[in-house]
Each structure stands twice: as C-alpha cells, then as structure tokens.
C-alpha cells in the first residue's frame, strides 16, 4: 500500500502561488504527485486543479532559479581559473 502525504490545509488558506512558494520543495513535489495521480484527476475539483497548476509553476520557477545559480557558480570558477593562469 502506498501512502501519499497531502499536507493539511488550514481553514481559509488559499493555495495561490505566493502561499505555495513558502512551502518546501519536497512538499510541492508530493502535492503534484498526489494531485496528478489518475484517481485524483478524476476526483479533483476546480480548487485542486488550480492548486496543481500553481504548484507546477512554483516548482518550475525554482528549477530555473537553481539552473541560473549553477551557471553563475560555473562562471565564477572559470573566472577564478582564468585569473590564476594570467598570474603565471
């Protein structure tokens, strides 16, 4: 039996992009997995569909931000290597 974690939603808490951006990545991934399952797709209401769409957007933005961060680190390493070579 698979157990899928779905975080408890407080009363009146909307799952908009701002709210979801405060959630940890692991929680968003599990939310997307739970809301994307075949059974959930059949049972989802409009709010769940919006929550799924917003969670995917937040995850996509985080992935882009991580890619940019990794590129900056790579550029800094190349710059540092270039500077050390020029000293010789």
pLDDT digits (tens, 9 = 90+) for 6-46: 555 554 556 788 889 999 999 999 999 988 988 877 788 88
Cβ contact 17:54 at 8 Å: yes
> So what's the pLDDT on residue 29?
94
3-state SS string for 10-23:
CCCCCCCHHHHHCC
Whole-model pTM: value is 0.69
Residue with tokens 């769409």: 53
**Residue 2 or residue 16, greater confidence:** 16
């Amino acid at each position: 039996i698979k157990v899928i974690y779905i975080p408890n939603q407080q009363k009146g808490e909307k799952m908009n992009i701002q709210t979801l951006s405060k959630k940890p990545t692991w929680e968003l991934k599990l939310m997307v997995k739970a809301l994307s399952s075949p059974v959930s797709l059949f049972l989802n209401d409009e709010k769940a569909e919006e929550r799924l769409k917003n969670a995917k957007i937040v995850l996509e933005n985080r992935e882009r931000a991580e890619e940019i961060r990794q590129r900056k680190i790579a550029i800094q390493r190349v710059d540092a290597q270039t500077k050390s070579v020029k000293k010789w």
